[in-house]
Structures are given as structure tokens and as C-alpha cells.
Amino acid sequence: MFDPFIAPSGTLLGLLQRGRGDGTLHALTAPRAEALAALNHCVLRDPRRDWQVENRSLYYARLYLDLNGGLDDIEAHLFDVEDAFDTEECRTGLALAVLGHLASYGRRDALELLRRYAAAGSNWAWALDELALRDDDAGLRALAAPVLARFGTDAEGEAELAAAVRDAFEPRPWRLWAEDPREYVSARVRAAQEAGCFDRWQRQMRSGGPRPGWSVQAVFEWAQQGLERGSALHVPAARCLVAVAGPEDRPEIVRAAQDGTEGARCTALRYLADSNDPDALGLIETAVATGTTTVVEAAVDAFERMRSFAAVERARGWAHRRDALGAAAGRMLACRGARKDSDLVLGALREAVRGEGCDAPTLWTLVDGAGRLGIVCAAPLLRHIYRETASSHLRGRCARALAATDPSFPTGFAVECLWDCEEATREIAARHAETGDARVVERLRRLAADPAEEDDVQTVVRSRIGPDTTAR
């Protein structure tokens, strides 16, 4: 997927793209046409850097309800001629998920649009999954014929149908169709179900992975072959060494970590680090100094997995380095350091923001560490990351860290977090938001009554406020 353009954080579009609670609050006070234009822009041009893990659909669906927004733009996007050529899920997935939530809120137009797209659209499987959770049996049965018509009746078409049934996220439609009174529907679906089950069994029986009977050298060769094919296999290869290697093989593994092939070196470093070998830390440092990019990445990853006191001590010495190992040392101290390591973790946090910006992957661990260690003077930097990052997951981690470091959090960011797109962030806000603000009390009550809200959030909300009581 392309890297989406994210508008500045101070604009309405930028707030909505990030899924911030302030986005909803600003949209509700902005001119309705402007708010709907920004909302449609987000839904039709998915702003998420990782669309498979970041949440936006419920956030946008709730805003459509609050703005009483129509679905004409979503309809035009779904049924555009481009749908026949760009069949990637990321083009239509967010729009379909928003329609699913709107259907669960009782929007009949959203339900009808999902039905039409399931019958005719290229991303029909996603639409069918949404309907499986919201539509009635009659609506789903009506889709059997158009869905089955997508698959030819020759051997290739039946194989594609079996794969679709096997890989369906929601099995309810297929189970209904397997019991359909129309024989030409039910017989075909049942045959596809049986073929899918048999194919899954065959794949399990055809495992091409290494066997414990292999030698250490054979495992190294397998890892190298994987690299040459473009697949990094050193992690499973290191697990194989646990079953294959004995004490007598240690010299061979150490030699591989020093100067073996890329695949062997990565595998050996991972194995030695996981087993807390006394030479692992020295070999990791050497690999970072002399290895290829692939070896350096494997060495750093192996180091970060170590849990020993010696590894933490070494991290304290490496934290001042300005290379990948120094960054890894900062992350290790963030995860496993003590209060005395606060300055080192704060320094790593500042360096990461200064050098890589507010979306650097290393920030996830460092932000968690700032909260875990209670680094109060990190709060201004955490607030900056919170505002600027395009990652809703990282913003949620900032909220958790601010709850532990910033005395102003309950009356500040915690309030807007009640409208955030991420469930975990709303849960943090429900725990900490100061209920002296009338908006907070009203929002808590609305979340408690919303059937689409996650159970964990509602549990926290209801622990603070009841339908006929004042907030605590």
C-alpha cells in the first residue's frame, strides 16, 4: 500500500486522519459541509499506515451518525470503475467496515449498500463478512446465487470456491448456503467445504520445514538457502538448533556467529542469545561492527530478546552509542531497566524524535519505558509525540505514559481520549478523565449505553458511573 498523505495535526483533516478524539470534537463544531468533506476524505482514502491493525471504522461511523451524513460518496467510491482494476482490500476495506458499523446502528441504507457490493464488487468477501455479523438469514440467502456465480464450474473454479470457503473470516453465510433448499446451491457449497477441509489437512501433512534429525550444518545451510531465495529463516532455524544441537556443537555455532555465511551467522547469534551463552554479547557487538545489514539487524534483534542481568548491564554501556546497537540498548533499558536508567531512556527518546520524527518505530518501546519508569520530565515530549504521530497505536501508548507522568492528563488529553479511535485509548481515558467536566460525564454515559463499544471499555466506564448516579 502507498504511504498516505497526512495533513498537519492542527487541521480538522489531520485530526480525523489520526483518529484523535479532538477530531470528533472539532468536526461537531465546524460547518457541517466542511466536516463531512473531511470525513469522506478519510474514509475513501484510508489514512492508516498499517490498515490491518489500526482502528478507524467505528470512529468514522460514529461521526457519520453525529453529523447525519449521507452515503453517496461512499457508494460512488465502491462502484467506481476503478473497483474492477484495483482489487486490493485497502482501497475499499475501510469504507466497507464503516458501513458495517452503520448497519449495526440501524442505518438501512448502509445495509443495502453492503448487500449490493457483496453481489457485484471486487472486495465482495469483506462485504460478506460485514453482513455475516449484521444481516438476517433472508438477506444472506439472497446473496448465495450472485456469490456462487463468481466461480466457474470447471475444476479451477471449484478450487477457487473451496479456497474462498476455507479462508472465510466469518463462516455463517457459507453454513446457511450449505443448508439452502436449492440443491444447486447447497450441494456446491457442501462440496467446497469438504474440499477446503481436505486441502487444509494436506497442507499440514506437507510441512516443508526442517526436521530435528538434521545436523547443525544442515540447519545453517537451510537458513542460507532461505536468504538466497529472499526469505529470512534464521528465527525458525535457531529454534531447530535447540532440538538439533548438543554441548559438543557449541564451538561450531560460535564459529558460525563469528564468520559464517549470512544465514548461518544470523541463526547462530539468535540461538546463542536465546540460550544466554556467555559469549553472546561479545559476538553481537562484533557482528554489529563487521556484519552486513542483514546480520546487524539479526544481531540487534537477538540482543533485545535477552533477559539476563548481564545484558541489561551491557545496555547501560551501549546506550550512548549512535548506531543500531545503541538504539537497541535504549529500548532494552526502557523495557527492563531500573529507575537509575531514566536519563538514558529519556536521552534515547529525545534522540529518536530528533533524528527520526514522531513516527519512528523505536518510539513504541521508548514511550512505554518512559511511562513504566515514571519519567515526569518526559511529559512535554510525550505530549508532542501524542499530537504529531500518525499512528493511533503509538498515540495510545503516549496516553498511557502520560497517565503515569503528567499530572495534567486527567483534565487534558484524557478528556479527548474518550472520543479516540482506539479501544485501549478510550479505556485509559475512562479510567483517568476528570469528571468535573460535563462533557466527560455525558460521554461516559453514552459509551456505557453504546452497543458497539468494546466490553473492556464499558466495564471501566460502568465502574465509574451508573445510569442514575453521579460520576466518581
Q: Report the sign of the C-alpha dihedral through residues 176, 178, 180, 181, in that order.
A: negative
The pLDDT score that the predictor gives to residue 3 is 67
Residue 462 lies in a domain: no
Contact predicate 9/398, CB 8 Å:
no
What is the number of residues in the chain? 472
Residue 448 lies in a domain: no
* Domain shared by 144 and 38, yes or no: yes
Contacts of 355 by beta carbon, 8 Å cutoff, 6+ apart: none
Residue of 101, 103, 94 lying closest to 74 (CA atoms): 94
* Domain shared by 233 and 301, yes or no: yes
Domain boundary among 205, 238, 262: 205
Alpha helical stretches, state H, 168-261? 172-178, 183-205, 216-228, 234-244, 250-259
Domain boundary among 254, 287, 306: 306
Residue 363 lies in a domain: no
Please state, in angstroms and rounded to a whole number, the distance separating the CA atoms of residues 113 and 323.
52
Three-state secondary structure call for residue 249: helix
* Domain shared by 144 and 16, yes or no: yes
**Which residue has 561479545 as its cell numbers?**
282
Cell digits for 145? 446465487
* Domain shared by 168 and 224, yes or no: no
Residue 404 lies in a domain: no
* Domain shared by 107 and 243, yes or no: no
Per-residue confidence of the chain (472 residues) as pLDDT tens digits? 456 789 999 999 999 999 999 999 999 999 999 999 999 999 999 999 888 889 999 999 999 999 999 999 999 999 999 998 988 888 999 999 999 999 999 999 999 999 999 999 999 999 999 999 999 999 999 999 999 999 998 989 999 999 999 888 999 999 999 998 998 889 999 998 888 655 554 554 555 555 556 889 999 999 999 999 988 899 999 999 998 889 999 999 999 999 999 999 999 999 999 999 999 999 999 999 999 999 999 999 999 999 999 999 999 999 999 999 999 999 999 999 999 999 999 999 999 999 999 999 999 999 999 999 999 999 999 999 999 999 999 999 999 999 999 999 999 999 999 999 999 999 999 999 998 888 999 999 999 999 999 999 999 999 887 555 444 5
Could you give the C-alpha distances from 277 to 35, 54, 273, 411, in angstroms and in order? 58, 38, 6, 49
Residue 422 lies in a domain: no
Please state, in angstroms and rounded to a whole number, the distance separating the CA atoms of residues 330 and 17.
30
Contact predicate 192/159, CB 8 Å:
no
* Domain shared by 76 and 224, yes or no: no
Residue 389 lies in a domain: no
* Domain shared by 128 and 79, yes or no: yes
The pLDDT score that the predictor gives to residue 1 is 45
* Domain shared by 212 and 201, yes or no: no
The pLDDT score that the predictor gives to residue 469 is 47
* Domain shared by 301 and 216, yes or no: yes
Please state, in angstroms and rounded to a whole number, the distance separating the CA atoms of residues 238 and 230.
18
Cell digits for 419? 472520543
* Domain shared by 68 and 158, yes or no: yes
Domain boundary among 306, 334, 367: 306
Contact predicate 341/373, CB 8 Å:
yes
Cell digits for 38? 473531511
Contacts of 197 by beta carbon, 8 Å cutoff, 6+ apart: 166
* Domain shared by 59 and 170, yes or no: yes
Cell digits for 387? 499530537
Give 121-146 as a DSSP string: -TTHHHHHHHHHHHS-HHHHHTTHHH
Cell digits for 389? 504521530
Domain count, the chain: 2
The pLDDT score that the predictor gives to residue 407 is 95
**Could you tell me the residue range of the domain that residue 289 belongs to?**
208-306
Distance of CA 180 to the CA centre of its chain: 37
Could you give the C-alpha distances from 298 to 100, 266, 267, 276, 328, in angstroms and in order? 41, 6, 8, 16, 12
The pLDDT score that the predictor gives to residue 201 is 45
Contact predicate 267/219, CB 8 Å:
yes
Please state, in angstroms and rounded to a whole number, the distance separating the CA atoms of residues 87 and 160.
16
Contacts of 203 by beta carbon, 8 Å cutoff, 6+ apart: none
Contact predicate 252/217, CB 8 Å:
yes
Residue 369 lies in a domain: no
Please state, in angstroms and rounded to a whole number, the distance separating the CA atoms of residues 22 and 19.
8
* Domain shared by 155 and 260, yes or no: no
Could you give the C-alpha distances from 136 to 91, 141, 142, 193, in angstroms and in order? 27, 9, 10, 22
Angle 260-262-268 from CA coordinates, rounded to 5°? 60
Residue 338 lies in a domain: no
